Amino acid sequence: MSTRAAASSPPAVWVDLPKNPAPIRRPTIVPVFLPHAGCPHRCVFCNQIAITGQADGDPAPDLPALMARFLKEKPRSPQHVELAFYGGNFLGLPPHRIQSLIAAARELVREKWIGSVRFSTRPDTIDAQRLGWIAGSPVGTVELGGQSMDEAVLAASGRGHTARDTALAVHRLKRAGFRVGIQTMIGLPGQDNRSALISAGQFATLEPDFVRIYPCLVITGSPLAADYRRGGFRPLSLDAAVATCARLWRVFARRNIPVIRMGLQASAELSDGAHVLAGPYHPAFGHLVFSALCREALVRGLRRLPAAGRTVRITAHPRRLSQVRGLGNANLAALTDRFALAGIRISSDPDGPLHRLGIALE
């Protein structure tokens, strides 16, 4: 297995990955975690303090110092910097806390440290009164924890809201002029592949500006951890989670909806093994999904060629090369084995389209 700088003869077969959705404006996000703040519920998978590694508290007085530290390390122009309140249910906070955080954020905009604000919140907090609280504020984007559109799955996950709440919330937010992101989960209690795919289709129909896909993990201290220890809940394996996520990615790609994250952001808390009891956590989960998409496309192409016993050359855009190879060259090993290849060479084609892979026999 080797990499060559350029292809010497044109590939015999081209295969396409689902085209990357249109790029969205990607600001630099400065996250501020409000673990479980403003949330009256207890979703079975949730232990925000374990995930974020932070206890609750009022961050408003500390925001200027946080921004000063951030901008010292990563100078950015303010229009590209977005302050994000994550980890809780922002619009479920008492009004005085929302007002205090918004006022602090407004000050950061006035000081030209940030351009805008986003937060995550539950779908059932989006009503006219609460939207009134953030009207005219620097909030530009709202991320909704939708998770599933399957009522049985929502109930089994202890979400405490319905699919209709999510649909209404997206509608109201869009009408009020906010950009909307939907966070969706796979491997939830009572959720099979079919349910996850149907939910993805329903989320796509709502036309959010972007989505995030998270595999359900068994986090220490969550209700799901107790169920797991009793032998009840069984999380997805890593392979199954990657395969399901790849199918969801295709659903959103077909509707031109950007998937801006797959898998939880790697952190010391998640990586040290003390907080994730079980489940498909991997620090490079998104890379695994794109590798799976590349492998499936290459399988499709190789089926059309008399490749057994031959050396195959795969041509890809430089940004795709590591995904074509797979983690630790896993894709190359799997393809070599499956098609009884003599070997695989990789060619980089910086001028080729990002979504296209070429396959040739040498």
Binding site for ligand SF4 (CB under 6 A): 36, 39, 41-43, 46, 48, 88-89, 122, 145
Write the CB contacts of 108 (distance below 8 Å, at least 6 apart in sequence).
63, 64, 67, 83, 114
For ligand SF4, the closer of residues 139 and 185 by Cβ is 185
| Residue 57: CB minimum distance to ligand SF4, A | 16
Burial of 299 (0-12, 13-18, 19+ CB in 10 A): middle
| Residue 34: CB minimum distance to ligand SF4, A | 9
SS3 at position 237: coil
For ligand SF4, the closer of residues 145 and 208 by Cβ is 145
For ligand SF4, the closer of residues 185 and 314 by Cβ is 185
For ligand SF4, the closer of residues 215 and 352 by Cβ is 215
| Residue 83: CB minimum distance to ligand SF4, A | 19
CA dihedral sign of residues 40, 43, 47, 51: negative
For ligand SF4, the closer of residues 146 and 326 by Cβ is 146
Tokens standing for 283?
């620090």
Place of tokens 């910086």: 350
DSSP state, residue 18: P
Query: How far apart are the C-alpha atoms of 359 and 13, rounded to whole Å?
Result: 5
| Residue 241: CB minimum distance to ligand SF4, A | 18
Place of tokens 């959720």: 191
DSSP state, residue 341: -
| Residue 38: CB minimum distance to ligand SF4, A | 8
| Residue 206: CB minimum distance to ligand SF4, A | 19
| Residue 89: CB minimum distance to ligand SF4, A | 5
Q: What distance separates the 2 farthest-apart alpha carbons in the chain?
A: 70
Strands 13-16 and 356-361, bridge-based pairing: antiparallel
Can you name the residues that pair with 210 across neighbouring β-strands? Answer: 181
For ligand SF4, the closer of residues 39 and 163 by Cβ is 39
For ligand SF4, the closer of residues 41 and 76 by Cβ is 41
Side-chain-side CA neighbours of residue 321 (13 Å): 19
